[in-house]
Homo-oligomer: A and B are copies of this chain.
Amino acid sequence: MPDRRITSRQNERVKQAVRLHHARDRAEQGRYTIDGVREISRALAGGAEFLEAFVCEELLADDLARALSARLEAADVPLWQVDRDIFAKVAFGARHEGIVAIARMREQPLSALKLPADPLVAVLVGIEKPGNVGAVLRSADGAGVSAVIVANGGTDLFNPNTIRTSLGTLFTVPIAAATGAETLAWLRAQGLTIYGARPDAELLYHQADFMRPTAIVLGSEATGLTADWLAPDVQAIRLPMHGAADSLNVSATAAVLFYEARRMRDTRLPKRT
């Protein structure tokens, strides 16, 4: 158990941690909050760089939570013991599992991404809602997407709601960030076939050949894909729309596309199953 105790809400560490609830302060501090036993466990497994953690012993729900606290301590992460009141200020949302960790924000460059032989890459262009980003990451993880690239900015990966709704998959899916032009150049250099999801496409998604090395590009529902992604070698694909609405939620579109690629690879190429 941590032997360092913080008893004042006015403590500077507490105040700095509370500010991390806001995107601007995360960017300024270069740090973000990871809240919850499952999320912190996955962040540990995924190699996140922990800077410190706040522990409220009486809130540590079970042996799993206590073991996690011990693992952080063993990894030389400074642990600060706090009471319920201070913990509630630092924690994000209502689920208080007794540990909140602070990690260093890292934006992996494209050059650091290592792709497998048959890559399936997802590119997110300005997807703003943290709940959608989290769900997209979760579907990418489930479908075995090789890497997720956040292009053109506008996607707040380190929002506590992104982390929460990603169920920690933010830490396990390889992620890189770059401008749109850099991303497009990199995808071309990797020899990927690039598909962009657009409601006005002629090609249906299940007519695409996702068995080749593939990149799937998804824009925001409000603004769609940016100009970078109108290049002639970006093939537009769409889902058929049989009802009243003209599109799905972006995280639903992502799930359908990622899993169709997975299905093609798993059923038509048995050697990859």
Contact = CB atoms under 8 A, between A and B. Distances in A.
Given A251-B135, A256-B256, A141 B243 contact: yes
Contact of A143 (B140, B144, B242, B262): B242
A76 interface: no
Contacts of A240: 142, 262, 266
A242 B255 contact: no
A135 B266 CA distance: 27
A267 to B, nearest CB: 6
Contact-residue size bin, chain A (C-beta under 8 Å from the other chain):
35 or more
A145 to B, nearest CB: 8
Interface in A142-181: 142-144, 165, 167-169, 172-173
Contacts of A9: none
B172 A243 contact: yes
Contact of A168 (B138, B141, B245, B248): B245
A59 interface: no
Contacts of A45: 244
Nearest to A207: B267
A123 interface: no
Contacts of A245: 138, 141-142, 167-169, 172
A139 interface: yes
A206 B256 CA distance: 12
A202 to B, nearest CB: 15
Given A45-B244, A172-B243, A244-B45, A165 B249 contact: yes
A267 B169 contact: no
A253 interface: yes
A241 interface: yes
A42 B260 CA distance: 30
Nearest to A134: B249
24 contacts: A131-B131, A138-B248, A138-B252, A139-B249, A139-B252, A141-B242, A141-B244, A141-B245, A142-B239, A142-B242, A143-B242, A143-B243, A165-B249, A169-B245, A206-B267, A240-B266, A242-B262, A248-B255, A249-B251, A251-B251, A252-B254, A253-B255, A256-B259, A260-B263
Interface of A: 42, 45-46, 131, 135, 138-144, 165, 167-169, 172-173, 206, 239-245, 247-249, 251-256, 259-260, 262-263, 266-267
